[in-house]
Amino acid sequence: MGIQRRACIVSAIESANVLWFIPTHGDGRYLGTSVGGRAVDFAYLRQIAEAADTLGYYGVLLPTGKSCEDSWVVASALAPQTERLRFLVAVRPGLQSPTVAARMTATLDRVSQGRLLINVVTGGDPVENRGDGLFLAHGDRYDLTREFLEIYAALLRGETVDYSGKHFNVEAGKILYPPVQQPMPPLYFGGSSEAGVAVAAQLVDKYLTWGEPPAAVAEKIAVVRQAAWARGRELSFGIRLHVIVRETAEAAWRAADKLISHLDDATIAAAQKVFERMDSVGQNRMAALHGGRRDKLEVSPNLWAGVGLVRGGAGTALVGDPQTVAQRMREYMALGIDSFILSGYPHLEEAYRFAELVMPLLPLNHARTQAEIAANMGPFGETIANVARPSALRAGQS
């Protein structure tokens, strides 16, 4: 009875944070083709970051891996171009020492004036891991992650660390310059396996799930929450999704179909073969939603798995008109989700669509007020015939 009552209290999410995505691995109007592709140079990434900052997003996620520009370098370059935007950047246990990672974290948090968020990425592709010099099996990588975070967090809290473990040994470890955020920037982490849940329950602040149907997300949250409670801890929860929002549902679903219109069966099969080699439980759960087939991609009302046909990691999108997308997000909030990490193609245009069409319908912790929007002559829109201010009324209405 006590557990149930506590669950109800924790699940009552009244307002949320929405983050956007910096596509350092590529962007365009279609998936799986160079048609409509865009060069991901710094000028374009800066455009997206500045748009996200101006539009009032809480922060941005920068992906990590061999297909991406380095997230730390890009975040360091983008931070001075923005004012309020936070940067969710990956630490990689096994690819960085915890002491070096702690120094990097403290430095970027200081130079960004406390706008750093940390994404702990254990890595789910054995082939890529071996290319980076990491040869550990799935369970061992999470054991390494646990040791890494124990050292890393202690250093950021200002402690002098002596540590002797299976994977790390540190003598008199210390960082001299503390982060702005105290005791340290928050740790975001996703891991659907039993080993991943154990690490989350012990050491992280926000548990992330990919965009599964609400019932599956509810089950996962319950498992992670119970594991944390068993350790006397509480976590918050976030979800990683794509969005395809248009002014009408019909237009949104046409956009979803168009996004994968250049995909052929051979491209899908090749991508799915790569995903099959991964030992990530979360990736396996994503692939199971569509099975590599494009005939039944709406896996839950307005939750579309078409992105996952060729994209690893987050493979689902919320598709619909603004009111419907906002309603689906509120359904996830009712389960305990307080952070949404979103993306959409192309990322610059979809950042505007979502911010203008959906954000005003959501209870957000960081929403811009209308008074902050500056427009020539106002209230908003282009001045009509050089003299008249635009009206919200349609022609013919009075």
For position 36, what pLDDT does the model report?
Answer: 92
Reported as a single tens digit per residue, the pLDDT across 189-216 is: 998 899 999 999 999 999 999 999 999 9
Cα 196 to the chain's mean position, in Å?
17
Q: Write out pLDDT tens, residues 336-363.
A: 999 999 999 999 999 999 999 999 999 9
Give me the pLDDT at residue 30, please.
Answer: 96
The pLDDT assigned to 234 comes to: 96
How many Cα atoms are found within 13 Å in the side-chain-facing hemisphere of 15? 8
pLDDT, one tens digit per residue, over 133-185 is 989 998 999 999 999 999 999 999 999 999 999 999 999 999 999 999 999 99
Instruction: Note whether residue 56 is domain-resident.
Output: yes
C-alpha–C-alpha distance, residues 24 and 62, integer Å: 7
Domain count, the chain: 1
Number of Cβ within a 10 Å radius of residue 390: 14
Q: How far apart are CA 361 and CA 113, in angstroms?
A: 30
Does the residue 350 lie in any domain?
Answer: yes
pLDDT in tens, 20-38: 999 999 999 999 999 999 9
- The C-alpha atoms of residue 90 and residue 105 are separated, in whole angstroms, by 10
- Given a cut of 80, whether residue 380 has pLDDT beyond it is no
| Predicted local distance difference test score (pLDDT) of residue 385 | 67
pTM over 0.85: yes
- Cis check for the bond before 185: say yes or no (omega within 30 of 0): no
Cα gap 323→364, rounded to integer Å: 15
CB 206 within 8 A of CB 58: no
Residue 366 forms part of a structural domain = yes
177 belongs to a structural domain: yes
Give domain status of residue 94, yes or no.
Answer: yes
Q: Would residue 75 count as lying in a domain?
A: yes
Type of residue numbered 121: V
* CA 305 – CA 295 distance, rounded (Å): 11
Reduce the secondary structure of 137-159 to three states and give it as a string.
CHHHHHHHHHHHHHHHHHHHCCC
DSSP tally for the chain: helices H, then strands E: 13, 15
pLDDT > 80? residue 383: no
CB 343 within 8 Å of CB 314: yes
User: Is the residue at 384 inside a domain?
Assistant: no
* Residues 51, 237: Cα–Cα separation, whole Å: 26
163 sits in which H/E element: strand 161-164
Inter-residue contact 374 to 75 (CB < 8 Å): no
CATH classification at residue 362: 3.20.20.30
pLDDT at 16: 97
Helix (H) or strand (E) holding 37: strand 37-38
pLDDT value at residue 114: 98
75: nearest Cα among 108, 41, 98, 99:
108
Contacts 24+ apart (CB under 8 A), 129-134: 129/94, 131/66, 132/66, 132/95, 133/95, 134/94, 134/95
Report which residue type is found at 278.
M
pLDDT in tens, 293-342: 888 899 999 999 999 998 888 899 999 999 999 999 999 999 999 999 99
Look at residue 292 and tell me if it is in a domain: no
* Structural domain boundaries enclosing 50: 2-245+337-372
Q: Give the H/E segment covering residue 342.
A: strand 337-343
Q: For the residues of 184-247, what is the DSSP string, one character each? A: -PPEEE---SHHHHHHHHHH-SEEEEE---HHHHHHHHHHHHHHHHHTT---EEEEEEEEEE-S
